Amino acid sequence: MEIREWLDVTYPEIVRLAVEETAEIYWLDEVGVQNTSNYVKGYAPKGITPVIPVETKHVRVNMISAITNRGKLRFHFYQGKMNQDLFENFLLRLIAGTDKKVFAISDNLTAHHGLFLKAWAEKNTAKIRLFYLPSYAPELNPVEYLNNNLKYEIARKGYSKDKIEMKQNAMSVMRTLQSTNYRIESFFDNEFVKYAKFIEK
């Protein structure tokens, strides 16, 4: 019911407001990339269990990103757990990077709509508006497909032995994506997010 309302009522209204207020719609999400995750496919002779080497030292890099259906990509790496301060800082980066008003759509993570952030957003309504996807519906967020792509490309680069190497690999992938608008636009082709392909005027 909530998802149907989002698709039929809520998002179309966001689109209408975006046109009315000359706003740019950004889709946001966080992701953690680890060197212990495996996304490879392979085979082994019958009767022999396949073995994949895994680093004993766990390395993780956290990133928040935002994309538009016109191929724009913004991202930022951060330490620790996402909180309202980090989220606000990223939103400020989005505002600084466009001459339009920002419509930011994210999931319902507490860090995305706490009291501090709500008060900040209310003071900055001329520059930004925050919207939230239905609960438990990550497939409706186009950034999820970017996150999957990042994890796949990181796995292709091989295991990272430390955080510096992991971040360098992730940065390389993200910069390549950032330079190819059509790749970002392609994340909106998935059947679950085609509804978000509307191009703002």
CA distance 74 to 65: 6
Domain 2-33+58-196 has CATH 3.40.50.300: no
Listed by start position, the domains of the chain span 2-33+58-196
Which of 179-183's residues contact partners 24+ apart within 8 Å by CB, and which partners?
Answer: 180/71, 181/70, 181/71, 181/72, 182/71, 183/71
CA distance 73 to 183: 10
For the record, the structure tokens of 141 come out as: 């967020």
Of 119, 113, 95, nearest to 23 by C-alpha is 95
pLDDT in tens, the chain (201 residues): 899 999 999 999 999 999 999 999 999 999 998 876 544 555 667 777 766 555 556 788 999 999 999 999 999 999 999 999 999 999 999 999 999 999 999 999 999 999 999 999 999 999 999 999 999 999 999 999 999 999 999 888 877 788 899 999 999 999 999 999 999 999 999 999 999 987 655
